[in-house]
Chain A
Amino acid sequence: MARIITKELAIKIRDKLHAVLIPQRSSAHDVYGIYYEGQIIATFGIRRGSEKDKGHDHIPRDINVSTGFAKQIGICNKYLVLTCNDKRYIV
């Protein structure tokens, strides 16, 4: 838990997964939803604020992958295969 996923990396993961911002009235987080075929399959929060190195080590848990895998999604061209109702989705 040594700040592996920073805010900067969290934003890259968000972009890579094409996560959509879900507007909140008042929250310390921006909540994003990952959609596939019209269904929301996971949500995660990115902390507000300008600090790029803010810890976001909770994101792997939110999207059900390991920390290393989440990091790889952000830094390289790794794709994500999700299994949902016995169907495989490539994100």
Chain B
Amino acid sequence: MAESPLAIYDQYIEANPQTFDQPFSSVQNIGNYIWPGIDSFRGTHPFEAMALIYSNDPFLFSRLIKLFIESLRNNLDVSIVSMKENIRSLASEVQELRVEIQQLRKQRAFVVPLTTLAPQPFQMTLQIPATIDGDGEDFTATFMEANVSASGESEADAIANLKDMLVSTYNTLEEIPAQELGPLPSRQWAILKSVVKRAE
């Protein structure tokens, strides 16, 4: 059985330590330095060229193989690092999505019609929709049109607080002169006036 090219290379280096002390940065470089005739192999089948190199100069062959292996290893290292980063990024995205899905599962939103403001001394002239959303621990009730909202520990609590805020906002805006109301409070006041009135 023939000796492997790498074994030949190692033996050669051991026997001739000063012979090839110039570094070779590429296959082309080693070819030009040791064997300018390497260009004559261009156009031949790579296996054929390699066989010819091996039979003519086993040392050059072993050096070429070693460079080739190092080049492959470097490329492989870069690929592995890049793959590791991609996997880490994907794992992080999957984790974020998992958390969002869990939150969406918990999330509950529905609309409840409000018909009364009792026990407050106010009444509603129109039924208004209150949007309730929450996750089982906290709920927020909102009258979207007037941008009035309130929170609570339960749906009922949130609705009771919304009614309270509707009345409080009504009282607040009623007492402020129109010229002192900014655009949002002006709109709120216009809407609240049309759906809420003091009970007689």
Give residues in A with beta carbon < 8 Å to B: 1-3, 22, 24-25, 27-29, 31, 33, 36, 38-43, 45, 47, 54-58, 61-62, 64, 84-85
Contacts and interface: CB of A to CB of B under 8 A. Distances in A.
Contacts, number: 93
A29 B185 CA distance: 18
Contacts of A43: 169, 172-173, 185, 188
Interface of B: 103, 107, 133-135, 137-142, 147-153, 160-161, 164-165, 167-169, 171-173, 176, 180-185, 188
Interface class of chain B by DSSP: mixed
Given A45-B150, A47-B161, A58-B149, A29 B168 contact: yes
Nearest to A56: B151
Contact of A39 (B133, B151, B171, B181): B181
A27 B153 contact: no
Contacts of A64: 147, 184
A25 B171 CA distance: 9
Contact of B165 (A45, A55, A84, A85): A45
